[in-house]
Amino acid sequence: MPVKRVSRVGWALVVTLLVVAAGLSPVAVVAADGVEVGAVDHAGAGVVATENGRTYVASWQPSTVSVAVASDSDDYEVCLQTDLDDGSTMLLACEPLGSAGANASDERRVEFAFTTWPVNATGDRTLTAVVRPGGGGEPVAQASHGVTVLAPAGDADGDGLGNRDELDRGTDVLVADTDTDGVPDGEEVNRYETDPTNTDTDGDELSDGVEVNEQGSNPTETDTDSDGLDDGAEVTTHGTDPTTADTDGDGLDDGAEVNDYETNPTEADTDGDGLEDGPEVNVHETDPTAADTDGDGLEDGPEVNRYETNPTAADTDGDGLDDGREVNVLGTDPNRGDTDGDGRGDGAEVEAGSDPNAAPGSVVGSLGLGGDGWLLVLAVAAVAVVLVAVGARVRGSEVRALLSDVRSRATDRTAGRRDGAAADAVQTGGSDGPVRPEPTADAYPGPEELLDDETRILKLLDDNGGQLRQSKVVEGTGWSKSKVSRVLSRMADEGSVAKINLGRENLIARPENVPEHARSPFDES
């Protein structure tokens, strides 16, 4: 079988096609007459990237194709052509090779300027530079170069953002997530309104991807929940929720806990005293970082919830004994200055060595004895013990008789002391003889006045014309707001006071001092 002879030009074309088909770089082809095609370069504003020997060109922007040709003759032209989707070839332009100058063998460049690229020639293309004799004829040399021509509305990287939009915004048309923050460029622009070229759009120290994909916070707001803490600080420093102003639900915003009160924004009760941080600050005015605000030996929670004492005052009833000592040691009532109602304050009784819990009517509490009176009581007890020891039968009536005798003796002694004090005050009168002065309230000073809660409030009202704002009741008693509110509610239920709402505050009044405009039409005149 005869072998068909192939010219050097034909072999050059075959080699060129094989190289292009293999995806290699442009190849120079040397023809029989000494024509050589060098590099085919694409430059200008339209060139957006070059990767792996392929040039990416924006079809809507200007670009220039430069072809290097070496030839010892000027009688040639250089043409550019590109393949199309249907397998055909489109001729883009032809330019004369031009004069070689003094040295005909020098490389000459032929440039083709494009304002825009043909619309039907976008996509992955092979751009071929062909050298042929002037006026037409078979190609004597050619070289090809792979290009991807981008359409304006196309999406080369599939990130949901069009090619033209990406170039306008400065994002990478070939990279789906330009700033590598975990959110594709298209979602950043079209959904979250974040900057696809900035990892942390709002500058809160959380990347946009972490805010969107993990925390659910707003990547365009530094403080999503407006609690006074930046989202980044909440997540990386405090362990709080950047989407919830009050992470632990204690009534204090996270920012206030961190910046103002130094409490734990992830613990509802920072000091573990039984009161949440919010009520401590907003209601009870206690220290949310100290379990026992007033240092009286009772924690704030039991003071409020169990004993109803004032957690900001060590001695709620003002009897000279701290609340903790009354509850834990003495067993007295920290809300009553005189627990047993004998007319002597608990503190005074403890100081004198008497029992502040002995109620009136009891053997010990009702006698009101001095030192010698107590000796009589002890004597009676000793006699009873001796009688029992010898087998005598001691009746209750006999013991009561002995105690009655002790009471009588103590009364006589007390009366004797008072008569003696009065005798010292006898004044000499006229002819009628000595005149005994009328006794006054100061003649026999009684025990220190100790009032229960209700009586104290009523006295405060009486001292102020029967009416007083609730805030003034708080000031006048020195109690906490919560205690004043509890006592007043109890008194209102009993009918001893009336509470009239004045908007943000209540007016407290004796029933007979309620203002006319606040009275019910059914009240009696």
Higher pLDDT: 381 or 155? It is: 155
Q: Supply 217's token pair.
A: 């916070």
Average pLDDT over residues 22-42: 63
> What percentage of residues in the chain have a pLDDT greater than 90?
60
Residues 42-90 have pLDDT tens digits of: 999 999 999 888 999 999 999 999 999 988 777 889 999 999 999 999 9
Q: What is the 3-state secondary structure (H, E, C) of 12-32?
A: HHHHHHHHHHCCCCCCCCECC
Fold classification of 8-150 (topology level):
Coagulation Factor XIII; Chain A, domain 1 (2.70.50)
**pLDDT higher than 90, residue 6:** no
Sign of CA dihedral 237, 240, 244, 248: negative
Give the side-chain half-sphere CA count within 13 A for 98: 14
pLDDT of residue 450: 60
Q: In the structure, what pLDDT confidence band is assigned to residue 153 with cuts at 50, 70 and 90?
A: very high
Q: Supply 188's token pair.
A: 């950043």
Average pLDDT, the chain: 80
CA distance 525 to 107: 122
Higher pLDDT: 57 or 377? It is: 57
Higher pLDDT: 257 or 28? It is: 257
DSSP result, 358-374: --TTSHHHHH---HHHH
pLDDT of residue 119: 87
257 C-beta neighbours (distance < 10 Å), count? 29
Residues in the chain, overall count: 525
**pLDDT higher than 60, residue 171:** yes
Residues 213-222 have pLDDT tens digits of: 999 999 999 9
Q: Supply 298's token pair.
A: 């009772």
pLDDT of residue 374: 44
Of the listed ranges 250-259, 284-293, 376-385, 482-491, the one predicted with least confidence: 376-385
Helix (H) or strand (E) holding 43: strand 36-43
Residues 77-128 have pLDDT tens digits of: 999 999 999 999 999 999 998 765 555 556 888 999 999 999 889 999 999 9
CA distance 489 to 333: 21
Distances in Å between the Cα of 333 and the Cα atoms of 51, 295, 338, 339, 452 are 88, 18, 8, 6, 11
Q: In the structure, what pLDDT confidence band is assigned to residue 480 with cuts at 50, 70 and 90?
A: confident
Let me know: does 59 contact 151? Beta carbons within 8 Å: yes
- Nearest by Cα to 130 from 149, 117, 145: 145
Higher pLDDT: 514 or 398? It is: 514
Residues 423-436 have pLDDT tens digits of: 343 333 444 444 43
Average pLDDT over residues 16-39: 55
**pLDDT higher than 50, residue 16:** no
Highest mean pLDDT among 344-358, 362-376, 448-462: 344-358
Q: In the structure, what pLDDT confidence band is assigned to residue 252 with cuts at 50, 70 and 90?
A: very high
**pLDDT higher than 70, residue 241:** yes
CA distance 459 to 228: 46
**pLDDT higher than 90, residue 8:** no
pLDDT of residue 520: 58
Let me know: does 193 contact 219? Beta carbons within 8 Å: no
CA distance 188 to 195: 6
> What percentage of residues in the chain have a pLDDT greater than 70?
73
**pLDDT higher than 60, residue 29:** no
Residue located via tokens 């990237």: 49
CA distance 437 to 427: 7
Give the CA dihedral 433, 417, 415, 451, nearest 10 degrees. 120
pLDDT of residue 424: 40
Residues 318-352 have pLDDT tens digits of: 999 999 999 999 999 999 999 999 999 999 999 99
Q: Which residues of 427-436 are buried (b: 16+ CB within 10 A; e: fewer)?
A: eeeeeeeeee
Residues 481-523 have pLDDT tens digits of: 888 888 998 999 999 999 988 777 889 999 999 887 666 554 5
Helix (H) or strand (E) holding 49: strand 47-51
C-alpha 524: how far from its chain's center? Answer: 55
Architecture of domain 453-518: Orthogonal Bundle (1.10)
